[in-house]
Amino acid sequence: MLQLLIIGGGVHGVHVAHRLLQQTPLTRDDIRILDPHDELLYAWRRCTRNCGMRYLRSPSVHHIDIDPFSLDRYALLPENRSDTNFIAPKDRPSVELFDRHCQMVIDNHLLESLHVRGRALEIHNHLTHVSVATTAETIHARRVLLAPGMGEQPFWPSWAIRLKDQGTRVGHVFDPDFSLDDLQAKGPVAVIGAGISGAQLSLRIAEKQDDAVFLISRKAIQVIDFDFDPGWLGPKHLERFCRQSIDQRRLEIMAARSKGSVSRDVKLALENATAQNRLTCIVDDITDATDQAGSAHLIGRLDQYDCQTIVLATGFTEKRPGNGFMDQVIKEFDLKTAACGFPVTDPSLKWHERIFVTGPLSELQIGPSARNIAGSRHSGRRITDALNEELTSSKP
Pair 160, 307: CB distance under 8 Å: no
16 binds ligand FAD (CB under 6 A): no
CA–CA distance, 248 with 118 (Å, rounded to integer): 37
One character per residue 247-286, x = contact with ligand FAD (rule: CB under 6 A): ----------------------------------------
Q: How far apart are CA 183 and CA 106, in angstroms?
A: 31
Task: Considering the complex, state which of residue 109 and residue 188 has its C-beta at the smaller distance from ligand FAD.
Answer: 109
* Stated length of the chain: 396
Of 114-153, which residues contact ligand FAD (CB under 6 A)?
119-120, 147-149, 151-152
Q: C-beta of 30: minimal distance to ligand FAD in Å?
A: 19
Query: In terms of Cα–Cα distance, which of 372, 45, 70 is closest to 227?
Result: 372
Q: Contact 102/41 with Cβ under 8 angstroms?
A: yes
Give the Cα separation of 349 and 360 in Å (integer): 12
Q: Which is closer to ligand FAD, CB of 197 or CB of 345?
A: 197
Amino acid at 283: V
User: Which of 18, 32, 62, 257 is in the footprint of ligand FAD by CB under 6 A?
Assistant: 62
Residue 9 in contact with ligand FAD, rule: CB under 6 A: yes
Closest distance to ligand FAD from the beta carbon of 392 (Å): 28
Strands 92-93 and 86-87: antiparallel
Judge whether 54 and 98 are in contact, CB under 8 Å. Answer: no
Window contacting ligand FAD (CB under 6 A); options: 40-48, 160-168, 265-273, 291-299: 40-48
Spatial separation of the C-alpha atoms in residues 132 and 146, rounded to whole Å = 12
CA pair distance 72, 41, nearest whole angstrom: 21
Does 58 contact ligand FAD by CB under 6 A? yes
Closest to ligand FAD by CB, 221 or 373: 373
- Work out how close the CB of 187 gets to ligand FAD at its nearest, in angstroms, rounded to a whole number: 26
18 touches ligand FAD by CB under 6 A: no
> Which residues would be at the binding site for ligand FAD (CB under 6 A)?
7-13, 34-37, 42-44, 47-48, 51, 53, 56-58, 62, 119-120, 147-149, 151-152, 197, 325, 359, 371-374
